[in-house]
Chains A and B, each alone.
Chain A
Amino acid sequence: MFTERYGNYQNYYSMRGNGCLLDSRIEALPKDLFKNTSVLDVGCNNGTITTQVASLFSVKYVLGIDIDPTLIKKADKHLEFVASRVGPSYDHRPMVSRQNFYPISSIKKFSRIQIKFQKPLNEEGFPHNVHFRAVDILRWQPNERFHTVLALSVTKWIHLNGLDEGLLSFFKKMHAVLEPDGVLIIEPQSWDSYLKAAKKFLFFEKSLHKIQIRPENFPEILEQHGFDLQTVVSSENARPKNIEQRGFSKRDIFIFRKKSV
């Protein structure tokens, strides 16, 4: 039985990445997109990127959402784990140099420090400014608005499960959830990726025949839904060339800004 129907892989980040503190995709983005903002991470999985963004940038508030409640529980634990390992702030050291200070062995032996007992580790109140919620993005009715929305490698799963209607309603929802002049950072998977998924799961094969929108049409559709394409970060720039990359295939990252009325 195909349990990862929504792309909710349980060990997605265990073999991916290059060992850096910050994901290479986030590293390639302009830093002012996160400074003093509220961020929504759609399809946060185990909260790896959500936690990185919250700990290494001065974000006010980060909400990570995913359809799988098991992954949200893992995300809560991951946040506690990362926060427990942050070292003391001598001489106003930046957060980057304080990361991974306490060894993993001490966290395993003496247990993580629970969030409710954790002191704020930076001016923005990390880890208390990070939350995770298990929601279905297509049925979610948010009360809050965000300045930045991250949708990395999720559009394929929304498209294959919700078809064209689901994808269009996702774009509308992102428009509604963004503040005026807000930013949508989207990393769509290519059509080849859709075909690979269809090979694994028969349900997706049927979905493929019903889908008419292709990933190449996303910029045009987003412009119709009230977005302006600001920048495209190509996959070559997203990866540092001297380090071998694992896991992520070549995908471009699109930065859209919500059109001001």
Chain B
Amino acid sequence: MFLPRQVNVRNRLTRRPSLSNKTPVDQEHKSINGSTSTSSTRLARSAFKNINDLKPEFIRAVECMIEVLFYRERETQKFHLTYLINKQEFWQGLKPSPTQANLKQCVKNLKNELFTFDEESHSIIRNEYKLDPNLDLFERIVYVEPFPATLSNKPFMLAGLLRECFSGFLPYLDIIPTPEGYAFVVLAHSISQETLTSLVIPQGWNLLSREEWTKREKMYMEYQADTMKSSSSAFFTEPIITNQSFRTNPDRASSSSVKYPESSERQFEPLEDDCKKSQTKHSESKRSFPKGLLTRLINLHPLTNKSTIQSLLRYVFSRQNPTATCEPMYIDYRKDETEAIVRWKSPEQAILCVSCFFNQKRKQDSHNDIRAHRKHNKTGPFISAELVEGSEEESYWNLIYGKVKI
């Protein structure tokens, strides 16, 4: 049955009055009584559009949402349309705004073996569908770089656009968005890189299987480490461009007109001891580095800088533990990044940093007043801290030892 929902006053004030009387009204809406019925039917009339007016992106996104919802809530056998509408995070980037009327028209026409739609109860009911439990989840994950990159934060719009490409591997199990220009989708069947390259995908998109993605990430790490190592022997400073090089030899095709400074002209000289140490240390299988001194801060604002991060650390420490000393030795942060690594003086301070940020977040979560506007996702996720351990810590210190001191 159609459920009258509480009228959102803000939406009612900003919504333009609908002048058209041509949109059909569902017969069931007439049975609702009282003022709520008139307000909700008014909203339904203004928001409802004919199925032909709904964009295909919207219809595909709704289908993806239902598939993912049934996977995430495995015990749920059916849910009402309002349950889907109330998942506000699902509707990012999608138009029009969801209403029971337009969702009903949308879902009624979907043909999916995973679910059926009951028109009387306005509920979506799960069918019996068995997933292969033996398949490795990793083989079903696909790394996606969409175009435009802003789609990476709109999971169901992204999934809807890829629906046709993945037609033989559906339903979707999950979609993991990120704000960084890439996302992950989890399919019901495994997919290899060869299959992905043979698919017809939208222009400008890049799809990698999890295996290929992991391989390329490792390759990049090695490439970066190799670049840092070789930079100690040959420095690439700004090239010396002379007007003569263009005027005297304009037709020179074989060699580049860009000159690189010889070793005697280098501007940045390494400390020889460090250089030798790094070369010898790389050859050793085990190397010693200070353990437990690193914490990673995540969800930073991309426009922040080292001094604001330092003042943030002092603030959080003073709020959570006024007697503790806050002594970050170095804040490893690059502009436009949302993560930073902090090197502490002692392992105790690193552990204290993690617990301070955890407690800070917990306190802010518990507020229900206007000051806790973070609840409405207006300022983004909380900054949190985690310890850098294991192979990540080792690779970080290896990079540091290989770097040139400037």
Contacts and interface: CB of A to CB of B under 8 A. Distances in A.
Contact of A128 (B178, B221, B236): B236
Contacts of B166: none
Given A60-B258, A124-B258, A105 B143 contact: yes
Interface residues of A, number: 45
B221 A110 contact: yes
B358 interface: no
Q: Secondary structure of the B side of the interface?
A: loop
A19 B205 contact: yes
Interface in B116-143: 143
Given A144-B243, A147-B250, A61 B237 contact: no
A172 B123 CA distance: 71
B334 interface: yes
Interface in B248-270: 250-253, 256-258, 260, 268
Given A105-B217, A111-B334, A60 B246 contact: yes
Contact of B216 (A20, A101, A120): A101
Interface in A119-142: 119-120, 123-125, 128-129, 131
Contacts of A105: 143, 178, 180, 182, 213, 217
A241 to B, nearest CB: 13
A115 B253 contact: no
A261 interface: no
Given A124-B256, A129-B258, A119 B150 contact: no
A46 to B, nearest CB: 12
A229 interface: no
A125 B239 contact: yes
Interface stretch (B34-42, B71-79, B222-230): B222-230
B388 to A, nearest CB: 12
Interface in A139-189: 143-145, 147, 179
Nearest to B204: A19
A117 B266 CA distance: 13
Contacts of B230: 119
B256 A125 contact: yes
A110 B147 contact: no
A14 B246 CA distance: 34
A15 B202 CA distance: 15
A52 interface: no
The residue in B228, B230, B246 that gathers the most chain A C-beta atoms within 10 A of its C-beta is B246
B241 interface: yes
Contacts of A1: none
B219 interface: yes
Contacts of A15: 148, 150
B202 A19 contact: yes
A202 interface: no
Nearest to B337: A111
B236 A116 contact: yes
Contacts of A88: 219, 223
B250 A104 contact: no
A131 B237 CA distance: 12
B182 A145 contact: no
Contacts of B231: 116-117
B216 A103 contact: yes
Given A102-B217, A125-B239, 5 more contacts: A17-B147, A100-B145, A103-B143, A104-B181, A105-B217
30 contacts: A18-B203, A18-B204, A19-B205, A20-B203, A60-B246, A60-B256, A61-B257, A88-B219, A88-B223, A102-B216, A102-B219, A103-B182, A104-B180, A104-B181, A108-B180, A108-B181, A112-B334, A113-B224, A116-B231, A116-B235, A116-B236, A116-B268, A117-B227, A117-B228, A117-B231, A118-B236, A120-B236, A125-B258, A128-B238, A144-B246
The 8 closest A-B pairs by CB, nearest first: A19-B204, A19-B147, A106-B220, A19-B203, A117-B231, A125-B258, A102-B220, A106-B217
